[in-house]
């Protein structure tokens, strides 16, 4: 059983995917961490994020244990990740490991931008999570305040909008809902309500997965 959860920055897809996986006893992969890790490794070596060949080589050398690094969530790496994620050779390098993960029995939940369209077009359930950019910026801003980060709402909103534009406009696996994805707008939903709705979608599509 493969469940694909896609959507734009700070849409809540990660929290939702984690909750669903926990509820169903499936494994979960936040695929954004892969692109964040490539960006981190390139920055550490002083490499140019626009260099597709270097970025692909860095993706090929990725140490999967390093995905546990809590610093991967650092705000600056989101933007850097979206630069390396534009490169088709980087995406190709990361494809098989995502697909292998997705086929782990009894099931897997993957969240990202292109899971339903490119990584797992055969996924049993596809949910595309959205919310207005203002709501998403507010949520991300609150998260960062709780962590004690210095951030402004306007800065967070600008980052989200710039990243969404880059992710949607790129040629390689652009961010968009798969034709057979169910849209879940969480602008007016808290995490509990979003989780209930997502579970409803899963039950309608595949019954009650065991």
* 167 touches ligand CDP (CB under 6 A): yes
User: Helix, strand or coil for residue 84?
Assistant: helix
Q: How far is the CB of 86 from ligand CDP (least distance, A)?
A: 8
- Cβ closer to ligand CDP: 31 or 186? 31
| β-bridge mates for residue 135, sequence order | none
The residue within the footprint of ligand CDP, chosen from 85, 102, 137, 184 (CB under 6 A), is 85
Q: Identify which range of 7-15, 146-154, 176-184, 202-210 contacts ligand CDP by CB under 6 A.
A: 7-15
Asked if 199 contacts 191 with a C-beta cutoff of 8 angstroms, the reply is no
| Angstrom distance (rounded) from CA 2 to CA 115 | 10
Closest to ligand CDP by CB, 12 vs 107, is 12
Q: The tokens of 28 are what?
A: 């979960």
- Rounded Cα distance, 125 and 207, in Å: 11
| Positions that interact with ligand CDP (CB under 6 A) | 9-10, 14, 31-32, 35-36, 78, 81-82, 85, 112-114, 163, 167
């Amino acid at each position: 059983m493969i469940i694909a959860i896609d959507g734009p920055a700070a849409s809540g897809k990660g929290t939702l995917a984690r909750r669903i996986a926990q509820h169903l006893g499936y494994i979960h992969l936040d695929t954004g961490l892969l692109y964040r890790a490539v960006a981190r490794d390139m920055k550490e070596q002083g490499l140019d994020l626009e260099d597709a060949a270097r970025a692909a080589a860095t993706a090929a050398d990725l140490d999967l244990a390093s995905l546990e690094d809590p610093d991967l969530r650092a705000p600056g790496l989101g933007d850097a990740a979206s630069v390396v994620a534009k490169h088709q050779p980087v995406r190709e390098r990361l494809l098989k490991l995502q697909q292998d993960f997705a086929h782990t029995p009894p099931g897997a939940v993957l969240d990202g931008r292109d899971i339903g369209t490119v990584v797992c077009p055969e996924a049993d359930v596809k949910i595309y999570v959205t919310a207005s950019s203002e709501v998403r910026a507010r949520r991300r801003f609150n998260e960062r305040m709780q962590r004690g980060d210095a951030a402004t709402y306007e800065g967070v909103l600008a980052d989200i909008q710039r990243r969404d534009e880059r992710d949607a406009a790129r040629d390689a696996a652009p961010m968009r809902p798969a034709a057979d994805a169910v849209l879940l707008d969480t602008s007016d939903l808290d995490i509990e309500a979003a989780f209930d709705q997502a579970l409803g979608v899963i039950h309608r599509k595949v019954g009650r997965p065991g």
